[in-house]
Structure formats: C-alpha cells, structure tokens
A and B are shown apart, each in its own frame.
Chain A
Amino acid sequence: MAPQSWYLIVSALLFGLGIVGFVTRRNSLVMFMSVELMLNAANLVFVAAARDHVPARGSACALFVIAVAASEVAVGLALVLALFRLKKSVDSDAVRELRA
C-alpha cells in the first residue's frame, strides 16, 4: 500500500501548480481553475491523512470543501458574466477602472 507521504507529495505538487497557474495566467477563468487545483490538493491531504485516524472524518471535511467550491464557482462565474457584459473581456488585466 502506498505510503501516506506519496499522497502528500502529489497533493503538494497539485497545490504548487495551482499557485503557479494563478499568478502566471491572465485569463480569469483559468486563474479560477487554478484555485480549484489548490482545493483538490487540500482534499487529497484530508482523505490521505484521515486514513491513519478516522477515515470518515477526512471524507466529511473534503465534502465541505467540495460544497464550498461549488458555491464559489456559482458566484465566481456569475461575476465573470457580469464583468464580461460591461467589458467584453475576461482578462484580469482588463479590470483597470479602479486605479490610484
């Protein structure tokens, strides 16, 4: 059976790729997908770590994270739509109305 540390390494890689994606991409939809990578990485830690303790607890925590991700997606995509209606762009750089 694969050691827990292997799962943690995969999850750390996923988390890191999420961060890199968020800071390097300009398309807000892709930035948002990178955040989903980070949340998935956290879920992997929850489930892998819980295996040595109370497995159901890890699943329950991961379930909450999935529910939160779903509500974030709903609001986030609605914001993207509202922004696109005004700007005709989803580039995070297009958001420049508010400047010092």
Chain B
Amino acid sequence: MDLATDLAATAPLWLPMLGCLAVLLLETLAPGRSGHLGALVAGAAIALAFARLVATAPSGRLPFGMLADDALGRSLTGLLLLVGAAVVVLAEPLLARLRLAHGEFFALLLASLSGMVLLVQARDLMALFLAVELLSIPLYVLAAFRRLSAPSVESGFKYFLLGAFASGFLVYGIALLFSTCGDTSYAALARFAADPARLGATWHVGVALLLVGLGFKVAAAPFHGWTPDVYEGAPTPVTAFMAAGVKVAAFGGVLRLAHEVLPDGAGLRAGLALLACASMLVGNLGALLQVRLKRLLAWSSIAHAGYLLLGVLVVVAAKSHAGATGAAATPLADSAVQAVVFYLATYALTTLAAFGWILDLGRESAELQDLRALRGLARRRPWLSAALALCFLSFAGVPLTAGFLGKLYVLKAAFALGTELIVPMVVLAATSVIALGYYLRILSTLYMERAPDENAPAPARLGSTGVALLIAAACGGVLLFGVWPEPLLRWLGG
C-alpha cells in the first residue's frame, strides 16, 4: 500500500476530479466569467489525464486495493477521456449562445467523467456503486441544466426518478452478493463463486438485481423506458455524453463483472440473451416509428445496447467453453472482451459525430429535429449531409465503416463458440436488416427528396470551428477504422 505509486497509477482518475475542484474555485474567484475558463480548465485536466495515461504502462497492480490497472481499464479510460474532451468542445459554443456559460457545467461534467473512469476500473462492488452514482448524479443536473426550459428540466427529472429507482435495485443486489461472502471485492466474490455448489438463491437474485440496475444505465430493454424522452429533452452535448460516455462506462463495468466475477450458468446466459434480444428488437422496431432525430438516435442506442449485450454474453459463455476445449477458453473470452471494446469505440465515435451534427445545424428545437426538415438538405449542405450519411451507414453496420467491423468482431467471437448462442445471433442479423431500413429512409430523405421551398435560405449553422472539426475528425475515424482497424485494435488491446 504505497500511496505515491497508487496515485501515480490512477492519475487519469483523480486529474478530472482535481479539474472539477479547480473549475469550482474559478467560479468563486471570477463569477460570471468562468464559462470559457471552465471549458479551458476542463480541457486541460482531460488532456493531462490522457497524457499520463499514454505515458505509463499498465502495471497489473491493484491501486487502493480496489482498482484495476490493466489493459481493459486503460483502453476504456482513454476512450472515456476522449469522449469527455469531445463533449467539452460540443458544449462550449452552445452554452455561450444560450448565455448559460456557467463554470458549474464543466465541474459537473468532470465529476461525471471521473465517475465513468472509476466505473471501468472498479474491482470492488462498493467502488462500482459509488462510480455509478458519481456518474449519474451530476448527469441528472446536466440533463436539466437549462433550468428554465421545460423539456430540459423534464428530461433531468425523468432521468433522476428512474435512475434513483435503478440505484435501489443495484444496491440491493450488491447487498445480497455481500451477504454471501461478507466481502465486496471482485477477488473475494470470484473465489466464492468458484465453487458452484455454494451459489444459492441469494447469489443468483443478487446478480439478477445487479444486472437490472446496470441494465437501466446502459438503456437495455426492458429497462429502456426513460431513454427517448431523456435523450430528446437534454441539451444536445449532454445527450452525446449520455449516449457515448455512459454506454462505454456502464458496459465497461458489466464487462469486468462478466470477465472476472460472474460464473457461467444457464440462468445468467438466459437472462443476458433475453436482455440482448429484447433490446435489439425493441430498439430497432421503436426507431422505425420515429419522426424526430434525437428520439431516433435514442431508440438506436437501445438497439446498440442489445448488440453489445450479445458480446457480454459471449464473454460469459466462453468461460465454460473452457471445460470442453481446455486452455482455449481464456483467449476466447479475451477476444470477446476486445470485440466489445472495439464496438464501444466505434459506437462512441459515431455517436459523437451524429450529435455534433445535430448541434451544428442548430437542431436544439423540436421543430428542426423533425426528419422532414432534412428533405433535400444534400443539395444545400453537401459536406454535412455526407457526414450524417456516413454516421448512419456506420450505425447500420455497412461495410467499409467502423460500425461494420464492430458488429463483425462481436459476431466472430460468438461464432467461435459454435452454435451455443445461435438465437441472439440470428436476432442480431434480422434486426440489422430492420435497422438498415430506417437508416436508408433518412438517406433518401437527405438525397432523393426535394425541399418544399428550394429558394429558402439553407438552415443556419452553429458556426463553431471546434464542432465542425470534431465532426470531421470523428467521421474520418469512422472511415479510417472501417478499412484499417489495426491501429485502433492495437491501442485498445493495450
């Protein structure tokens, strides 16, 4: 227990926390003017954290007795820091325009970000619980940050009410797991679970409640009810943070639990398969019916949670594949973990580009979000339309985009287990076709239809260079990693 080494290894966790405090201090020192400064400090804290992350190698130690300093934690931490930086870039111009440039926004953002980082590194149920709360509670406030706008406040309120309900399930599940072995560390739980004879009802109910609690956070069906309303009402940069950041962080937590603690079992498999299939079906069918852009992305994020849950299922199932084929199981589970992480990276990238696009075209108001407002946009805003088209092609999983490879790797990991998971795999294939349907519908709106009034001025843009650069970079990444994924794979693999 050497404090200095632990602190050195966990700089990406505490630097955002420190940044949060710095932003709050700035707010008291320079009240009213801290908005831009806050963005700068937040960006600097995230950049420093990222630099520390890249400069050091994973030690495999257990900092503070309950964190992970391994390849999985580091690659997801890096991803989260990039998402956080992108959200700072997205939020700054919008807040300035709304005259809401308070430093608190960035303090809340950094606190939530440090909760996310904690979640992907947690190796203890108590750390997991507090991480979930540290990421959620600031996010409730961020969703309602426009506190005079009814949709924004409603969004935060709904998110809070269902989030608090979910945290009840989460903490009761943790308490039940604690009651089995009197400890909360993953190592102790895994030791306890190693003997299947000891796993009684308390354990299984505990795991089930834990997954329900986390299922709310990743917006998996049937715990998705809040998603469309909350995504639509929250300010767009916050929605981007929810969609990209929370998904990465919560799946990081689930992935580690599945990899290190949860033993394979028929019940767990059935539960995960059910969640995965329900999410894919509900998400894609729901998206078919949407006429507004943000709601459509919300439903599609539910569907993506389903695809990712299939990856988690593969991680769990690969463990007992060990029994059949001996030592081959660990690499199988590891490759499944890597597939999920790659999927998360491509999903985060595409999501940031898509929400950046919504923000750039000033689509904060509900009328402009109507899909009909996109008719014939390709003629007037060719580059932006191409960017949106690329995002949707990647979401749909069309070849030559990163989204395709994400789906491919998850399917490949599932195929390695033979026909054990054939049902969710078939559902994935079938729902991908549905998804292609509504994504192509949007493309035809963009490219084939004509605007009702050809002479009307093209919709005004937000006019922020940062946002435009971000969209360009994210789209470039989607294309680049779609044809040449090796650099990303190598980085994510540690």
Contacts and interface: CB of A to CB of B under 8 A. Distances in A.
Interface of A: 8, 15, 18-19, 22, 28, 31-32, 35, 38-39, 41-43, 45-46, 48-50, 52-54, 57-58, 61, 64-65, 68, 71-72, 75-76, 78-80, 82-83, 86-87, 92, 95, 97-100
Contacts of B179: 8, 45-46, 48-49
A57 B154 contact: no
A76 B133 CA distance: 13
User: Which 4 pairs, one residue from A and one from B, show the smallest C-beta to C-beta distance?
Assistant: A53-B182, A49-B179, A38-B168, A45-B175
Contacts of B233: 97-98
B168 A35 contact: yes
A5 to B, nearest CB: 10
* Dominant secondary structure of chain B at its interface with chain A: helix
Interface in B229-266: 229, 232-233
B383 interface: no
Interface stretch (B52-60, B74-82, B155-163, B454-462): B155-163
B183 A53 contact: yes
Contacts, number: 127
Interface stretch (B84-92, B144-152, B304-312, B356-364): B144-152
Given A75-B140, A98-B232, A65 B183 contact: no
B184 interface: yes
Interface string B123-146: 000100110010001001100100
Nearest to A90: B157
Contact count band on B: 35 or more
Interface of B: 126, 129-130, 133, 137, 140-141, 144, 147-148, 150-151, 153-158, 160-161, 164-165, 167-169, 171-172, 174-176, 178-179, 181-184, 228-229, 232-233, 289-290, 295
Contact of A31 (B147, B161, B176, B289): B161
A61 B126 contact: yes
Contacts of B171: 38-39, 42, 65, 68
Contacts of A46: 175, 178-179
22 contacts: A15-B168, A15-B172, A31-B165, A35-B164, A42-B171, A42-B172, A42-B174, A45-B175, A49-B175, A49-B179, A50-B182, A61-B178, A65-B129, A72-B167, A79-B141, A79-B160, A83-B153, A86-B148, A86-B150, A97-B151, A98-B228, A100-B290
Nearest to A50: B182
A90 B228 CA distance: 21
A88 B24 CA distance: 32
Nearest to A41: B172
A41 to B, nearest CB: 6
Contacts of B169: 38
Contacts of B160: 75-76, 79
A49 B126 CA distance: 15
B140 to A, nearest CB: 6
Given A32-B161, A50-B182, A75-B137, A100 B289 contact: yes
